[in-house]
Amino acid sequence: AVSSLPALSDCSTTFVFRLAAPMALRHLLAVAVTVLALDMAAAGGGSAALGVNYGQVADNLPSPQAAAVLLRALNATKVKLYDADARVLSAFAGSGVDFTVGLPDNMVPRLASDPSAAATWVRSNILPHLPATSITAVTVGNEVLTGSDATMLRSLLPAMQSLHAALAACNLTSRIAVTTAHSLAVLSSSFPPSSAAFRHDLLPYITPLLAFLAKTGSPFLVNAYPYFAYKADPGTVDLDYVLFEPSAAAVADSATGLRYGNMLHAQVDAVRAAICAADYGRAVEIRVSETGWPSQGDGDEAGATPQNAARYNGNLMRLVAQGKGTPAAPGEPLQVYVFALFNEDQKPGPASERHYGLFKPDGTPAYDVGVKAPTIKGLKGSGNGDGNGTGSGVGMVVGEGPAGADGFAVGPGGLYTISDATHKVRRWRWTESLAAMAAVLAMVSWS
């Protein structure tokens, strides 16, 4: 038997397991493993992981429960937030989705100057959601090193170190990485990929940051958008090349002989070359923390169409599903986070900034990416759902194929309401609990 477990509300919590009946434990372990295997088979657990950015700069988004349904349809098992929204993290409890959460820019100087602020942030934003919700990384700020604030530049690494220390005090550094996301503007050049290097003015900040990532086993995150290259020079840049089309002419790196069939891989390998030049090439994993294509733009934003967005993200998803790496690291499957789940109507800047979503706020696809997804009907979308099926999402009707293509029992015509989706989340929680118990029991030896 297992003793009652206290809530994970502070770093002094310990777990005590009392063994009582060896045979009962064996039976419980067998049941847990069987249920977990069945659930993985039903969910298609063997496919490659897809990451999606869940931005919320909008006033018309559906509730987190609706987002959970859409992400499930995409087979997305990794989600990146730009904050640590408690509503979202609670709604996904037990889902098996791995979250990267964000510490906002305005908190970076505070964590750098006051280590106790990091401990407070962890207690408030991380611990209440563990272990029900899987949090695997925290990003400290976003594209800080390509900003113009000198205080932010100096504060970034100390803030990351403070947060890592706060997580270490809770014995969480083995499961939660501390990192930060960069734009490609940290590079002084990016082509050919093998010649890329970091900007000289940023080396005093990037070199120790790479040392931190290598020491802690944390990934280097890059926001890479081939769209920007095409938008800047549509007359020269081959559209098929930036859209992952098989018909695109490959571009060769004369120094290495490697051939690139798409621009994203070339951009990632440019970052890889820059890291290698700083002598951290093999110790730091590279992940694409953002990439995407807008489905609409202003008149001077070439290529921002639903057709191109569908081609980019559809081809990207298929590439991720194949588990392929880049030409410079073919044996290392590239982890990618698509930007973004929803169109965000309150983002500033050109029209394209408000049209990167895979879905519109009413839950309908912004375009067809060749992935079967549910449609959400009858949703006004206030963005104020409480995450428990009692807000604006109540009664939302979702269609997911004939008679429930996801393997769950549904109502007439293959439709179910958001309250049924909440039951799915509870089922996820049960499965996750069994999985966790199986892992614990597997580590316990008995005669």
Question: Does residue 250 carry a pLDDT above 70?
Answer: yes
pLDDT tens-digit readout, 406-418: 333 333 333 323 3
pLDDT, average across residues 10-37: 39
* Residue 290 known to be catalytic: yes
pLDDT at residue 246 tops 80: yes
Mean pLDDT over the full length of the chain: 78
Model pLDDT for residues 374-432, shown as the tens digit of each residue: 555 444 444 433 333 333 332 223 333 333 333 333 333 333 233 333 344 344 433 44
Please state, for a pLDDT cut of 90, what percent of the chain lies above it.
Answer: 63
Q: What is the Rg, in whole angstroms, of the alpha carbon atoms belonging to the chain?
A: 23
104-135 pLDDT tens trace: 999 999 999 998 999 999 999 999 999 999 99
Q: Are 88 and 55 in contact (CB under 8 A)?
A: no
Find how far residue 275's CA is from the centre of its chain: 22
Active site residue 400: no
pLDDT of the residue at 364:
87
Local structure of 186: helix, strand or coil: helix
Which of 7-11, 155-159, 274-278, 363-367 has the least mean pLDDT? 7-11
Distance between CA atoms of residues 433 and 31, nearest Å: 12
pTM confidence score: 0.76
| 338: pLDDT strictly greater than 90 | yes
Please tell me what DSSP assigns to residue 30.
Answer: H
Cα–Cα distance, 58 to 39 (Å, whole number): 34
Q: Residue ranges per domain, the chain?
A: 46-374+416-443
Beta partners for residue 103, in sequence order: 140
Burial profile 110-121: b = 16 or more Cβ within 10 angstroms, e = fewer: bbbeebebbbeb
Considering the chain, what percentage of its residues have pLDDT values greater than 70?
71
User: Quick check: helix, strand or coil at residue 331?
Assistant: coil
pLDDT, residue 143, reads: 96
Q: CB of 71 within 8 A of CB of 81?
A: no
Strands 134-142 and 177-183 come out as: parallel
- Per-residue confidence (pLDDT) for residue 137, from 0 to 100: 98
Q: How large is the average pLDDT for residues 64-81?
A: 89
Pairing of the two strands 50-53 and 336-339: parallel
Query: Given 285, 290, 344, 432, which residue is catalytic?
Result: 290
pLDDT value, residue 212: 96
Give the Cα separation of 56 and 82 in Å (integer).
8
Mean pLDDT of 282-309: 94
Instruction: Give the CATH superfamily of 46-374+416-443.
Output: Glycosidases (3.20.20.80)
Mean pLDDT of 343-355: 96
